[in-house]
Amino acid sequence: MSVVLDIKNLTFSYPNGDFLYKNFSLNVKKGEFVCLLGPSGSGKSTLFELICGNLKQNDGYISHKKLAQIYQDPYSSFHSTYSIISQIKDTVKRNLTKDEYLPLCEKLALDENLLYQKPHKLSGGELQRCSILRAILLNPEMLLADEPTSALDSLTQLEVLKYMLDMLSFSGILLITHDTTLAKWCADSAVRLGDL
Number of domains, the chain: 1
**pLDDT at residue 135 in the model:** 92
Taking only the tens place, the pLDDT of each residue in 108-165 is 889 999 999 999 999 888 898 899 899 999 999 999 998 877 767 777 777 778 878 8
| Cα 16 to chain centroid, rounded | 29
Average pLDDT, the chain: 88
Burial of 90 (0-12, 13-18, 19+ CB in 10 A): exposed
Boundaries of domain holding 94: 3-195
**pLDDT at residue 196 in the model:** 45
**pLDDT at residue 195 in the model:** 53
**pLDDT at residue 194 in the model:** 67
Give the residue, 20 or 158, on which the prediction is more confident.
Answer: 20
Give the residue, 134 or 193, on which the prediction is more confident.
Answer: 134
Taking only the tens place, the pLDDT of each residue in 88-100 is 999 998 888 899 9
* Contact in structure between 87 and 134 (CB atoms under 8 Å): yes
The four Cα atoms 111, 114, 162, 53 give a dihedral, to 10 degrees, of 170
Taking only the tens place, the pLDDT of each residue in 68-78 is 998 888 888 89
**CATH code where residue 8 lies:** 3.40.50.300
Give the residue, 26 or 193, on which the prediction is more confident.
Answer: 26
Taking only the tens place, the pLDDT of each residue in 35-76 is 999 888 888 889 999 999 999 999 999 999 999 998 888 888
- The predicted model scores a pTM of 0.87
